[in-house]
Structure 1
Amino acid sequence: MPDQRRATHTLSTGQEVVVPLETEAEATAVVVTADAGAAAEWLPDSLAPVRLAPGRTAVTFLSVDYRRIGDDAMAPYEEFGVLLAATPAGGPIPELGALRRGLAGPPGGLGDYVAALPVTTEPARALGAEIWGYPKSVADVRITDRGDRRRTAVRDERGHLLTLDAPWNPRFEAAVETTSYTDGDGRGAGAHGGAPARRQPLELSGRFGGRPFGGAYTLGHHPLAERLRDLELGRPLGALAFDGRFTIGGGRRVDP
């Protein structure tokens, strides 16, 4: 990750955190296909869905167990994310433009728009919403291991959102730089009203694992689950696992 000026933020819950923020975490993810036209309606105007095939894009269901946040700035917590593959919308084929920008300089093209991000504590919600504009909410995110599988169940007062099942197989050392996108106001998918998106640089360093066409998910009866059904989700393209250090930098406005 490029060098960034360190900044200290005091959250409404009283915790102080330093950005770029370094954490230690375990994570699993399952990537599925989705209708690109429907996904585009979730994105800010300055972003476009990444097309994997004619009319299809990708949605990632992400489960994270944070073991350390900064210099123990707050208690560990669990998190679940709904991420839409996205890139700045400029150009007739935006993902090719993003690839060109990525080859010419630091990462900042292809990435994931964070549509929803339930977490298990109020300080965790304040951390993401107040610094980066992540659409965080407090929910029950339960992560359990079953042999070489990891299961995540997510629910809140509105009902059961989703159950995620993924291989737990982090074995290979690697470092990856990528990008997340937000609306910058913490409202999430479909609530942006044309506001410019913001990008956050991410770096993951540790052990990774993967399995093509691995993982499974089951949607529950929850308002967000009903919206996800409208995306015409397909079967899993693959599952990922990660165990290591996750660092997030400060956000910047997206210029399409």
Structure 2
Amino acid sequence: MTASQHTIAGTVITMPVQIRKANQHMAMFSVDADAAQHLIDYSGLQVCRYLPGRTIVVLMLMHYIDGDLGQYYEFGTSVMVNPPGSNASGPRALQSAGAFIHHLPVDQAFTLEAGTKIWGYPKVMADFTIREGREFGFDCTVDGQLVIGMDFRRGLPISLTPRQSAQRSYSHRDGITRETAFEHTLDGVRTRLGGVRVRLGDHPYAKELASLGLPKRALLSSSADQVQMTFGDAQELP
């Protein structure tokens, strides 16, 4: 079977897209399910209610260092959703849930074009300020307005071996909802309960995060020093 290809800014990208080296910082929050559903109603998907009236939102900063789309920073807001047609609920429903990508600012034009054309991700141009030191932190601004600032306390090592997993993400663009399968391997993972401070700015994205009750204490936060990923083509959902 011939691999599919996409031409982005004059460069041919052959699927699947490979990310050979990246690192990440993420935080997981329990938020009001109805508020999250209202935020993503446009997608046609249903939030995963892992507890009565609650769903999970993940905020994540990725630094892509070596990959088919170049080097860039990316901030994502994702809401855990049920697969299409599923009404599963309860903690075990999270095992089959996927991540609906609601925000995805990036700081490079090539990955913006690739992300929107190949997968329908909601990528927009942004600027990032990175703070290294005893704590890792960043600010994300779009159109000169602060979206979010996050500062992470260092977690504890949780595994001595890389963790591999296969997941699904969902996106909605131009009236079409898409599903994308991807695989990732995490190494050098550290995690802790809470462990992150969140500051929201004045950008409309920040107001959407505030509608979910943020800033608030995270359920947990984590970092991964070495991330490898493989992305397939997006599949349009009926």
Q: Smaller-chain TM-score range?
A: 0.7 to 0.9
Instruction: Select 1:216's aligned residue among 197, 201, 205.
Output: 197
CA contact (8 A) 1:58 1:84 kept: yes
| Corresponding residue number in structure 2 for 1:106 | none
Change over 3 Å in CA distance of 1:16–1:142 after alignment to 2 = farther
Instruction: Select 1:199's aligned residue among 163, 166, 179.
Output: 179
**Aligned-partner residue type, residue 166 of structure 2:** E
Structure 2 regions of 5+ residues with no counterpart? none
**For 1:40 and 1:76, how far apart are their aligned partners in 2?**
33
**For 1:250 and 1:125, how far apart are their aligned partners in 2?**
16
Secondary structure in 1 matching 2:121? coil
Whether 1:161 aligns to 2:147 is: yes
CA contact (8 A) 2:74 2:107 kept: yes
Instruction: Select 1:150's aligned residue among 136, 139, 142.
Output: 136
| Corresponding residue number in structure 1 for 2:13 | 17
How many residue pairs end up in the alignment? 229
| Corresponding residue number in structure 2 for 1:188 | none
CA contact (8 A) 1:118 1:141 kept: no
Instruction: Select 2:230's aligned residue among 214, 233, 247.
Output: 247
Secondary structure in 2 matching 1:221? coil
Instruction: Select 2:44's aligned residue among 33, 43, 46.
Output: 46
Whether 1:33 aligns to 2:30 is: yes
Structure 1 regions of 5+ residues with no counterpart? 103-108, 186-194
Secondary structure in 1 matching 2:112? helix
**For 1:164 and 1:5, how far apart are their aligned partners in 2?**
43
| Corresponding residue number in structure 2 for 1:127 | 114
| Corresponding residue number in structure 2 for 1:231 | 212
Percentage identity across aligned positions? Answer: 25
Report the CA distance between 1:32 and its aligned residue. 1.2
Secondary structure in 2 matching 1:47? coil
**For 2:39 and 2:59, how far apart are their aligned partners in 1?**
16
CA contact (8 A) 2:50 2:89 kept: no
Report the CA distance between 1:66 and its aligned residue. 0.5
**Aligned-partner residue type, residue 21 of structure 1:** V
Change over 3 Å in CA distance of 1:37–1:152 after alignment to 2 = same
| Corresponding residue number in structure 1 for 2:171 | 182
Instruction: Select 1:88's aligned residue among 83, 87, 92.
Output: 83
TM value normalised by structure 1: 0.81
Report the CA distance between 1:89 and its aligned residue. 4.8
Moved more, 15-24 or 119-128: 15-24
CA contact (8 A) 1:80 1:141 kept: no
CA contact (8 A) 2:25 2:60 kept: yes
Report the CA distance between 1:218 and its aligned residue. 1.0
CA RMSD of aligned residues (A): 2.4
Report the CA distance between 1:58 and its aligned residue. 1.4
**For 2:133 and 2:154, how far apart are their aligned partners in 1?**
9
**For 2:70 and 2:167, how far apart are their aligned partners in 1?**
26
**For 2:193 and 2:237, how far apart are their aligned partners in 1?**
32
- Give 1 or 2: higher strand fraction: 2
**For 1:31 and 1:21, how far apart are their aligned partners in 2?**
26
